[in-house]
Chain A
């Protein structure tokens, strides 16, 4: 039974990755979780420079989910390379860095710096953060913007590039196609759903930024549908995420068409979920006599309906 999966030129030891913004820089968890056992560690989004992000409160819990507007607080790409990457390397982690930018040039420059650093295995392009004024989702909500960012990064790196797509568009699959045409090796989705929670007594938003991004099990069925649609639309691999809490949820995404999955909000609830999830996927493959995790990808039969 082979749990490994391929994303472009990169082979992951298993399909389970941490989701950006939900696992710090990985090192925060390194003494509790053996980082080398994850398919990949996707670290928090990085701009060229440090950012302070939004004031508190930054999150609010909602039914079976949470809304966040962190504002991409981060240490910037240079400090990441000098302070965090050495430990990730020493821990033998497969590292995917989430790349942010307020301009096409910034995405390219951050990507170039990371390509020159030792120990970065792939780049995820954050063109889908709903919580910052400049950059992020403004590229991810425009087919031309998506194409421009991916093409610009493609010119400066040989690392696999994985644009992370927003669900806040009518047809995410068209954005997957735009990314594929611009040279992306895979796409990941979904980022969070733009959402609003209001303090009814005070009649004001419950987080400082007003609106934020909804994550958690509440969004999972919509995310599964979008992953399925993207899988049908492109030949490159799809990395699926959105409210995955356990192995069964991860399997649902893979069967819908995800070659790998990312786990975000669930890590807040259970930081020791990783081995349970990886073992659960392996147990499923064994039980169903499936030789390779790759054989499971996109195996849903939509002509057969449960009844």
Chain B
């Protein structure tokens, strides 16, 4: 885990001169393509499910913030894979990684198939892919900001931060109480929870940015904190501007329509600030999905 993370930090990101000089680092992190058997399909609600997949190689290599490209259908329709954050790393009694799960929100044909998947089904699973979160060390705190299905990358991040002794908080917003998932897991891990719902059925009424702003306002400037955010684009932009207002580092895990996950198709671009004052497009599959919020050109 530590070794892989160190290697990934040495991996040259897009636009910094090419990967060839760091080929060895690149190789360490090349993804596996496996036909993964569905172990369990846990329906969390009418819209959300968690699919547990037997994929030991992928599970052993994945680090917080990385993603998978999953193909729901076996034929040509739907044709393309879809990107999903690694949700949980599944382990056996001895602690050996045996698989991964993905948190799925039903929004289209592929997620419909994944919602309907049965144990024993096989899905093509390519990963782990992409750049991970940067882990902080104490005394810095880690504040995770999740909206809806944006909870997905924070199970593994919370585990990694807590393992390093980092005081960790999850700001978590959803439409309603029934869509706030796995609260007991985070509580048991020792993560502080700040919850919001749009209908007021749990936590504070409204969006997650309001309590985040208050918490940042109350925090002395000499006490370091790093923000990690994943969720709808508007929430990410608001988190980025809030973090900037309090001069705090913020990493966001972006979601884009993605064709391949490997840097081949140039679909999943994000406009990033250029030194010249303009912008340039990076591919969020290989330069992200975790990006420095301050470098993104938000709409």
Query: Which of B52-60, B143-151, B257-265 contacts the other chain?
Result: B257-265
- Asked if B260 and A63 sit within 8 Å, CB to CB, the answer is no
**B264 contacts across to A, CB distance below 8 A:** 22-24, 28-29, 267-268, 271
Is B223 located at the chain interface by the 8 A CB criterion?
no
B277 at the interface (CB under 8 A from A): no
A305, B176: Cα distance in complex, Å: 62
Supposing A24-B264, A90-B20, A217-B76 touch, asked if A271 and B281 sit within 8 A by C-beta, the answer is no
Question: In this assembly, does A61 line the interface, its C-beta being within 8 Å of a C-beta of chain B?
Answer: yes
A51 to chain B, nearest CB (A): 9
A136 within 8 A of B: no
CA distance A245 to B270 in the complex (A): 29
Of B27-35, B93-101, B182-190, B194-202, the one with at least 4 CB within 8 A of chain A: B27-35
Query: CB of A70 within 8 A of chain B?
Result: yes
B78 and A32 contacting across the interface, CB-CB below 8 Å: no
Chain A residues with CB under 8 A of B76? 64, 216-217, 245
Known: A53-B266, A90-B20. A28 touches B286 (CB 8 A): yes
Known: A31-B27, A66-B259, A271-B33. A265 touches B79 (CB 8 A): yes
Inside 8 A of A70's CB, which chain B residues have their CB?
265-267
List chain A residues, Cβ under 8 A from B260: 267-268, 271
Q: Check A60–B257 contact: CB distance below 8 A.
A: yes
Residue of B nearest to A82 (CB): B18
Q: Is A202's CB within 8 Å of the partner chain B?
A: no
Considering only CB atoms, which chain A residue lies closest to B17 in the complex?
Answer: A83
**Secondary structure type dominating chain B contacts:** loop
User: Are B79 and A216 interface neighbours, CB within 8 A?
Assistant: yes
Say which residue of A56, A66, A245 sits within 8 Å of B269 (CB atoms).
A56
**A-B Cβ contacts below 8 A, count:** 109
Q: Min CB distance, B288 to chain A, in Å?
A: 13
Query: In the bound complex, how far is the Cα of B260 from the Cα of A23, in angstroms?
Result: 10
Q: Would B263 and A31 count as touching, CB distance under 8 A?
A: no
Q: Which residues of A contact B33 (CB under 8 A)?
A: 270-272
**Residue of B263, B266, B267, B268 ringed by the most chain A CB atoms within 10 A:** B266
Within 8 A of B (CB), among A165-218: 216-217
Determine which of A32, A73, A267 lies in contact with B266 in the assembled complex, contact meaning CB atoms within 8 Å.
Answer: A73
Q: B270: which A residues are within 8 A, CB to CB?
A: 56
Query: Any chain B CB within 8 A of the CB of A283?
Result: no
Q: Please report the C-alpha to C-alpha distance between residue A23 and residue B265 in the assembled complex, in whole angstroms.
A: 7
A221 adjacent to chain B (CB < 8 Å): no
B78, B260, B279: most-surrounded residue (chain A CB, <10 A): B260
Interface assignment of A104: CB less than 8 Å from any CB of chain B: no
- B residues apposed to A, CB below 8 Å: 17-20, 23, 26-27, 30-31, 33, 71, 76-81, 124, 126, 256-257, 259-260, 262-271, 279-281, 286
14 A-B contact pairs sorted by A residue (CB < 8 Å): A24-B266, A27-B18, A28-B262, A28-B264, A31-B23, A56-B256, A56-B270, A61-B80, A70-B265, A90-B20, A217-B76, A269-B81, A270-B124, A271-B264
